Structure 1
């Protein structure tokens, strides 16, 4: 059977570490390939490492088709769900997978609930050009809209993480330099530390990652300390300013007194005018 290895699908999930790959190879050599490789037609969906190692050592393997795959998005969602359920997947990887799943589901729901174009009236024939060139209609998909996954709580539940961890992973994905992402993927620094470093300018992130794990941790500590510092107290006025403050207050009081007197005088004038108008026939 000709099995097609799609590079995009092979790279969709983070690769195994060298230690995990060695353990898998030892298991295959000792026990054979017990789990069937999952295919979508001729395309390999799950079992890329097992497939390669079985070919390398001439080991037999089985394949199985998944009839639920209707599109590449269905394949992606299935792959994500498979890896979310595996213990060997790190918290950071699970968070990334759950965020990726939420984006796919959002797109599917948007299309499922989008208004459909109105069909032409049956007594109105289609234009000749369209009738000649259009392919025959295909039945519309009837699969229900996927379950909503548009809140951090839903994403956290799918990833078996806290909402705060999802927020940090989302920040790392959007703001962290590739070198920082590689460090947290490898477990060199924690999600918390990587999220703190991700708030720094890109050049500072790269410099810290290049310097190694200790510098990354120091950079994260500096960010946290800067956040925790209380705001600076207001500066005490200089002696000269303190000396002149009473004079300024006295000037303001005099101005208030002056304005009050002017206001009273204007009211008096207005009252006199009103009385004069009342006496005039």
Structure 2
């Protein structure tokens, strides 16, 4: 049998380190390939590293068929489940896998609805009578964000951030978060920038990415709304002691200018107080 290795399935496999690969190779050369490779038809599902070593050295191996798979989507879902169960998978990768699972199930749900519509229109036989037009799987559930978070062992906010990264982030930013250069939250913030700015930040390295995330967060931060009692205080007349000090400063300035008319002095003092009160009101309105 010619075994087929699909790149779309290899993408789910964590590559072995050089030491791990060398240890596995030594074991197979010494003891043979003890564990059977898992196939679906002629497609390799499990045992990619063992298959590569055996093929390179011309060593025999056994295979076993997984008869539970009905479609390639079943294979994808099985591999996703295998990876979600591993502790070595990063939080970001867990989120990506959970989103991939949601996409597969959503596509199935859409096909189920289309099948029901065809049956209703009379363009397809009922699934009870004919299996050929029936999707080869169990009815697909619809996963909420909370359910995705639970499966991926993440918080709902983390899943939301990973969704944003998945949908908006430039490839360079995705690689940075995969490599652990920046956190999920920082990458989600950077993903809100135009793509060219994201790439420029990624090219600048860890520090530039962090600065870009900081700029985005600061731009989104809302100005602090004063409490009602604070706004009332700002609208109130200036403190009497402060007002007296201000009056004295104005009078001293007038004396220096040689103004002697008492009426003029009182008028300037009154206008100064009124101006201070208006400034306080304006500041309160801007703060609200």
TM-score, length-normalised on structure 2? 0.66
Using the alignment, how far apart are the partners of 2:203 and 2:58 within structure 1?
41
In the alignment, structure 1 residue 222 sits paired with structure 2 residue 215 = yes
Q: Which moved more, 1:174-183 or 1:211-220?
A: 211-220
In angstroms, what is the RMSD of aligned CA positions?
Answer: 3.2
- Deviation (angstroms), 1:206: 0.5
Q: 1:142-161 counterparts in 2 under 5 A?
A: 143-149=137-143, 151-161=144-154
1:89–1:142 Cα change, 3 Å: closer
CA displacement 1:141-182 (0-9 Å, x = unmatched): 574302331x10011111111100000000001111100001
CA distance in 2, matches of 1:201, 1:77: 33
- Say whether 1:23 aligns with 2:17: no
- After superposition, give the CA deviation of every residue in 1:21-59 in whole Å (9 maximum; x if it has no partner): 541332342365454322111111222233213323444
Q: Distance in 1 between matches of 2:218 and 2:131?
A: 63
CA positional deviation for 1:80:
1.1
Q: How far apart, CA to CA, are the structure 1 residues paired with 2:198 and 2:164?
A: 14
In 2: Cα distance, 1:46 partner to 1:25 partner: 19
Matched residue, 2:263: none
Work out whether 1:180 is the aligned partner of 2:173. Answer: yes
Hey, what does 1:5 align to over in structure 2?
5
Could you tell me how far 1:109 is from its partner in structure 2?
A: 2.1
Quote the Cα distance in structure 2 between the aligned partners of 1:203 and 1:141. Answer: 42
Contact 1:196/1:220, CA 8 A, preserved across alignment? yes
The CA distance in 1 between the partners of 2:195 and 2:52, in whole Å, is 38
Q: Tell me, in whole angstroms, the C-alpha distance in 1 between the residues paired with 2:106 and 2:82.
A: 20
Give the counterpart of 1:194 among 171, 182, 187: 187
Segment of structure 1 superposing worse, 152-161 or 20-29: 20-29
Match of 1:169 among 156, 162, 167: 162
Distance 1:173 1:4 in 2: 29
Give the TM-score normalised by structure 1: 0.68
Q: Is the 2:112–2:135 contact (alpha carbons within 8 Å) kept by the matching residues of 1? A: no
CA distance in 2: counterparts of 1:55 and 1:195, whole angstroms: 42
Question: What is aligned with 2:79?
Answer: 79
What stretches of structure 2 of length at least 5 have no aligned partner? 124-129, 227-270, 279-288
* 1:117-143 Cα shifts (integer Å, max 9, x gaps): 4558xxxxxxxxxxxxxxx98474574
Partner of 2:251: none
> What SS is found at the alignment partner of 1:145?
coil
User: Is residue 25–residue 53 contact of structure 1 (8 Å, CA) maintained in 2?
Assistant: no
Please show how residues 1-281 of structure 1 align to structure 2 within 5 Å.
Answer: 1-11=1-11, 13=12, 15-16=14-15, 20=17, 22-30=19-27, 33-113=33-113, 114-115=116-117, 116-119=119-122, 138=132, 140=134, 143-149=137-143, 151-228=144-221, 230=223
Residue 38 of structure 1 aligns to a residue whose secondary structure is: strand
The 3 A distance-change label for structure 1 pair 118 and 225 is closer
What displacement does 1:86 show?
Answer: 1.5
When residues 29 and 6 of structure 1 are mapped into structure 2, their CA distance, relative to the original with a 3 A threshold, is same
